[in-house]
Protein backbone atom coordinates (compact mmCIF):
# COMPACT_ATOMS: atom_id res chain seq x y z
CA UNK A 1 0.00 0.00 0.00
CA UNK A 2 1.34 3.41 -0.91
CA UNK A 3 -0.73 5.39 1.62
CA UNK A 4 0.27 5.50 5.27
CA UNK A 5 -1.03 6.91 8.55
CA UNK A 6 -0.45 10.67 8.78
CA UNK A 7 -0.46 11.29 5.00
CA UNK A 8 -2.47 14.20 3.62
CA UNK A 9 -5.01 13.00 1.05
CA UNK A 10 -7.87 14.25 -1.10
CA UNK A 11 -11.04 12.25 -1.81
CA UNK A 12 -11.37 11.84 -5.59
CA UNK A 13 -14.78 10.16 -5.78
CA UNK A 14 -17.89 9.53 -3.73
CA UNK A 15 -20.03 11.75 -1.53
CA UNK A 16 -16.99 13.40 0.10
CA UNK A 17 -15.35 14.24 -3.28
CA UNK A 18 -12.93 17.18 -3.20
CA UNK A 19 -12.46 17.20 0.58
CA UNK A 20 -8.99 16.98 2.09
CA UNK A 21 -7.87 15.37 5.32
CA UNK A 22 -5.25 13.38 7.15
CA UNK A 23 -5.18 9.59 7.40
CA UNK A 24 -6.06 8.48 10.94
CA UNK A 25 -5.92 4.74 10.32
CA UNK A 26 -5.12 2.31 7.50
CA UNK A 27 -7.10 -0.93 7.23
CA UNK A 28 -4.79 -2.99 5.00
CA UNK A 29 -6.91 -6.17 5.02
CA UNK A 30 -9.95 -4.22 3.75
CA UNK A 31 -7.94 -1.92 1.41
CA UNK A 32 -9.53 1.07 3.20
CA UNK A 33 -8.51 4.16 5.13
CA UNK A 34 -10.16 6.27 7.82
CA UNK A 35 -9.74 10.02 7.34
CA UNK A 36 -10.12 12.42 10.26
CA UNK A 37 -13.39 14.36 10.04
CA UNK A 38 -14.63 12.80 6.78
CA UNK A 39 -17.28 10.19 5.96
CA UNK A 40 -18.96 10.63 9.36
CA UNK A 41 -21.89 8.47 10.39
CA UNK A 42 -24.18 9.07 13.38
CA UNK A 43 -24.54 6.18 15.79
CA UNK A 44 -26.95 6.04 18.72
CA UNK A 45 -25.34 4.92 21.97
CA UNK A 46 -27.26 3.53 24.92
CA UNK A 47 -26.50 4.74 28.43
CA UNK A 48 -23.78 2.65 30.07
CA UNK A 49 -24.62 3.37 33.72
CA UNK A 50 -27.88 3.94 35.57
CA UNK A 51 -28.91 7.60 35.47
CA UNK A 52 -26.71 8.36 32.47
CA UNK A 53 -28.27 9.65 29.23
CA UNK A 54 -27.92 8.04 25.85
CA UNK A 55 -26.23 10.02 23.13
CA UNK A 56 -25.59 10.30 19.41
CA UNK A 57 -21.94 9.76 18.48
CA UNK A 58 -20.36 10.68 15.14
CA UNK A 59 -18.00 7.99 13.89
CA UNK A 60 -15.60 8.20 10.93
CA UNK A 61 -16.19 5.31 8.55
CA UNK A 62 -13.67 3.77 6.11
CA UNK A 63 -13.21 4.91 2.51
CA UNK A 64 -11.77 2.55 -0.10
CA UNK A 65 -8.17 3.31 -0.96
CA UNK A 66 -8.98 3.69 -4.67
CA UNK A 67 -11.16 6.72 -3.83
CA UNK A 68 -8.35 8.76 -2.25
CA UNK A 69 -5.14 10.25 -3.59
CA UNK A 70 -2.04 11.74 -1.96
CA UNK A 71 -1.76 15.54 -2.02
CA UNK A 72 1.29 17.61 -2.92
CA UNK A 73 0.92 21.36 -3.25
CA UNK A 74 -2.86 21.13 -3.06
CA UNK A 75 -3.13 18.80 -6.07
CA UNK A 76 -3.56 15.02 -6.21
CA UNK A 77 -0.48 12.97 -7.10
CA UNK A 78 0.40 9.35 -7.71
CA UNK A 79 3.06 7.68 -5.57
CA UNK A 80 5.92 5.56 -6.79
CA UNK A 81 8.95 3.88 -5.20
CA UNK A 82 12.64 4.58 -5.63
CA UNK A 83 15.66 2.67 -4.34
CA UNK A 84 18.05 4.91 -2.40
CA UNK A 85 21.04 3.00 -1.10
CA UNK A 86 19.48 -0.16 0.31
CA UNK A 87 16.15 1.40 1.24
CA UNK A 88 12.97 2.00 -0.78
CA UNK A 89 11.38 5.44 -0.42
CA UNK A 90 8.09 6.84 -1.69
CA UNK A 91 8.32 9.52 -4.36
CA UNK A 92 5.88 11.64 -6.34
CA UNK A 93 5.58 10.36 -9.90
CA UNK A 94 4.91 13.88 -11.15
CA UNK A 95 7.79 15.79 -9.56
CA UNK A 96 10.10 13.01 -8.35
CA UNK A 97 10.21 14.53 -4.84
CA UNK A 98 10.26 12.35 -1.73
CA UNK A 99 6.91 12.08 0.05
Which residues have a Cβ under 8 Å from the Cβ of 94 and sit 6 or more positions away? 72, 77, 78
pLDDT tens digits, one per residue of 54-92:
999 999 999 999 999 999 988 999 999 999 999 999 999
CA distance 13 to 28: 20
pLDDT tens digits, one per residue of 25-48:
999 999 999 999 999 999 999 998
Whole-structure pTM over 0.75, yes or no? yes
Q: What architecture does CATH give domain 8-92?
A: Roll (2.30)
- Going from N- to C-terminal start, the domains of the chain cover 8-92
Helix (H, G, I), strand (E, B) or coil at 84: strand
Amino acid sequence: MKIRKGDNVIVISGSEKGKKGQIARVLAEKQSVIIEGLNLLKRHQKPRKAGQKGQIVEKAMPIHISNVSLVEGGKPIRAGRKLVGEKWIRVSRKSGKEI
